[in-house]
Amino acid sequence: MSADKEMRLPIDNLSQGGQSAWKERAKQRRADKPWLEKSRAISFRILEELKAAEKTQVWLAHQLKITPQQVNKWVKGTENFTLETIAKLEEALGVDLVHITKQSSTTRHNESVQ
């Protein structure tokens, strides 16, 4: 067997088993980018608030009656927070993590009419 064929065998073995899913994963990352950026911002804010209050992730876990591992997932910035989770975090930390401005229905209606 030639040296070229010997080198190709391991490469061929690695590629067996079908198509790579890199393209689909790249599309998914692109689609997830908007919420991931917001998730990271919330995660950094959680860490900042814990540091300012001299509290730990374990303390937060006890406050929310969840595992420290779950808090750790949150602060990595890759979790898709639910509104319920954000509300619980805000209560435990005593801060607003997400601020939503209120608009009256007439203001909204006038904006769409113009």
pLDDT at residue 110 is higher than 60: no
Report the chain's C-alpha Rg in angstroms.
23
Determine the pLDDT at residue 65: 97
Q: Which helix (H) or strand (E) holds 96?
A: none
Domain that holds residue 55: 26-97
Q: Within a domain: residue 75? A: yes
Residues 73-106 have pLDDT tens digits of 999 998 999 999 999 999 999 999 998 888 876 6
Residues 37-80 have pLDDT tens digits of 999 999 999 999 999 999 999 999 999 999 999 999 999 998 99
How confident is residue 33, by pLDDT bands cut at 50, 70 and 90?
Answer: very high
Q: Within a domain: residue 70? A: yes
Q: Within a domain: residue 8? A: no
Q: Within a domain: residue 2? A: no
Determine the pLDDT at residue 14: 64
Q: What integer is the mean pLDDT of 15-29?
A: 81
Q: Within a domain: residue 30? A: yes
Q: Within a domain: residue 9? A: no
Determine the pLDDT at residue 100: 87
Indicate the number of domains in the chain.
Answer: 1
Using CA atoms, how far apart are residues 34 and 23, in angstroms rounded to an integer?
Answer: 19
Cα torsion for 15, 16, 18, 21, to the nearest 10°? -30
Burial bucket for residue 52 (CB in 10 Å: 0-12, 13-18, 19+): exposed
Q: Within a domain: residue 107? A: no
pTM higher than 0.75: no
**CATH code assigned at 69:** 1.10.260.40
Q: Which helix (H) or strand (E) holds 83?
A: helix 83-93
Using CA atoms, how far apart are residues 59 and 56, in angstroms rounded to an integer?
Answer: 5
Q: Within a domain: residue 38? A: yes
pLDDT at residue 111 is higher than 70: no
